[in-house]
Chains A and B, each alone.
Chain A
Amino acid sequence: MSGTINHGLAQLAAVDQGFFTDRSGGGCIQDNKLFCPGWVADNYDRYVHPTLQHLVLVGSAVAAGFLIAFALAIFAHRHRWLQTPFLAGTGILYTIPSISFFFLLLPITGRGALTAIIALTAFNLQIIFRNVTNGLRNVPANVTEAATGIGMTPSQVLWRVELPLALPEVIAGLRIATVSTVALATLAVFANGGGLGTEIVTGSNITFKTGIIVAGSIAVIMAILFDAVLLLIGKLLAPWKRKQALV
């Protein structure tokens, strides 16, 4: 049995010899040292396309996850009894490992970026749903009571009072979802979904350390940048939080 499986792995890890020999890097590449700066300098262009693909994967999955989870959270805010089933449902989607999700979708959407985006979206739902719901729940009761008491309609209370006050938690959820998705999207390669994972696994060799480090680093930097941008947006949209801190 084990013989067969090793055979399978060997196939996957098949060395793309041309990749090594055609490019410069000399002895560093031949010896597969931990990091070959010369090779990176000559080959940075090969990361442009996977990076863009990665951005599309993450952007689509987070945007779709946000729209769906936000709508679910608003709906469950009006109909409280739905919160438990929604939480359980999104919890199941969150728990199923993305790599497994890709292939559960195989009979339906086949292989490709769409499959990866759907699986990553499913992963996001719980994080965003939970944060929006908590954010709305943490709005002090006296504030909504006052809003209703001075004559806001339920939808005015929601859009003018509850959601702005929930915003910091909504943004916090988006940050968690985005950073996690950037990391997870490297797995999209297994679903033929492209992205930075392609520079870690296929077409080359999973033992090529420099390639792994560069692709992994781009993913980490992308996550940090997304996080910083969302943090900034949150600060700009919630000025009252900043002023409070000064008191």
Chain B
Amino acid sequence: MTAESVSASPVRFDSVTKRYPGADSVAVEELSFEVPAGEICVLVGPSGCGKTTALRMVNRTVEMTSGDILIGGRSVKEGDPARLRREIGYVIQQIGLFPHRTISQNIGTVPALLGWDKERIAARAAELLELIGLDPEYGDRYPAQLSGGQQQRVGVARALAVDPPVMLMDEPFGAIDPINRSRLQNEFLRLQAELKKTVLFVTHDVDEAIKMGDRVAVLKKGGHLAQYATPTELLMEPADDFVEDFVGADRALKRLALMRVRDVDLWTAPLAQAGDPAEPVRTAVAAAEVPHALLVDAENRPLGWLSARDLDGEQVPATPDSVADPLIDADSVLRDGLASLLQSGSLYAPVVDARGRLAGVLSVEIVSDFLASDEASESELTAAERPHD
């Protein structure tokens, strides 16, 4: 599956209002915004702000009272809701895999509804299993035999089955523990970089919104749009007290979630393989940014840090004094990288790509430099964009 072969459609909310029968107030009132094709738009807000209602009106699992939602210029109100839903991927927090059907059958649900033949469904299920990084043998298992994180990956695969132009994700990672949530978020962002779907994503977690969103729609009670902006704008210039409050006092730190580790200038460390002569390594260490050498294997995967004692001999030893821990995923955001560093109490950590190969070294200093430069850019931006001040 390549980026060229897939389609995405813009989604436009046009004065969408939902009033539940018998309710005193409206759940969503006059909501209007547009999500460009291929972008992730996160709907975020406190509970009761109408974000899930807004999402569910897109696939008509909740019918709107007035207004319209257009997907690629076509109103969702046209035609049969079941048919509409088959063209929209849908992932919910509780996943909702069918316990009585195998993983492959679960993934193949919508293709089967659309009448695909068996071979095509099987081929598609296998393709999607590979895409979400599950072994093909998982296809014959039942959902109860999978971990929560694996189930949620299957939920995403099921939503992607017929390559829908739009995906709706309702707190998809809300029930997953923090470590796995971060991993699933990264995986999804990696997928999205390839698939370029239009995604509407609901969360109550502002950190997740900032990390996942190309755009963030902050909703307040009654489904009023408080701000619709890119994460950077949201952090730099909250539209009002509500947004400022919701985003939180630590929004300077939150900006660390906007930058990926691979996108900052990483440091380089002297590298050595087991059996190399020790002398040149000692020289390199004395002159390097990182005052320690990294032992790597033939595939350039970090094995551990070499101490001065390790380098005392003629040759570089095969087992270093300290293992390379933590290892930081190049796709993770700077905030998570910093968290790993702080947690392990180390000043440096090797950064590795998806295959475990060394991409550079992250240091606490890089992060603080980034924050300092960012602070500067914020004051510039503020001065430039607020001429009235």
Contact = CB atoms under 8 A, between A and B. Distances in A.
Interface of A: 140, 142-153, 156, 161, 164-165, 167, 238, 240, 243-244, 246-247
B220 to A, nearest CB: 26
Contacts, number: 84
Main SS class of interface, B: mixed
A145 B86 contact: no
Of the listed residues A150, A238, A247, the one surrounded by the most CB atoms of chain B closer than 10 A to its CB is A150
B121 interface: no
A143 B98 contact: yes
23 contacts: A140-B96, A140-B99, A146-B92, A146-B98, A146-B155, A147-B96, A147-B98, A147-B109, A149-B90, A149-B96, A149-B168, A150-B85, A150-B89, A150-B110, A150-B158, A151-B84, A151-B110, A156-B82, A165-B99, A240-B100, A243-B142, A244-B145, A247-B145
Main SS class of interface, A: helix
Nearest to A146: B96
Contacts of A161: 98, 100
A167 B99 CA distance: 12
Nearest to A247: B145
Contact of B142 (A147, A148, A152, A244): A244
Nearest 10 interchain pairs by C-beta? A146-B96, A142-B94, A151-B86, A151-B85, A149-B90, A142-B96, A244-B144, A153-B82, A240-B142, A240-B100
Contact of B61 (A143, A149, A247): A149
A244 B110 CA distance: 24
B144 A140 contact: no
A167 B34 CA distance: 45
Interface residues of B, number: 32
B104 interface: no
A239 to B, nearest CB: 8
Of the listed residues B87, B94, B98, B144, the one surrounded by the most CB atoms of chain A closer than 10 A to its CB is B98
B145 A146 contact: no
Given A240-B100, A240-B142, A142 B95 contact: yes
Contact of B109 (A142, A145, A150, A244): A150
Nearest to A161: B98
Given A151-B84, A152-B109, A156-B82, 7 more contacts: A143-B98, A146-B90, A147-B98, A149-B96, A150-B90, A150-B109, A247-B145
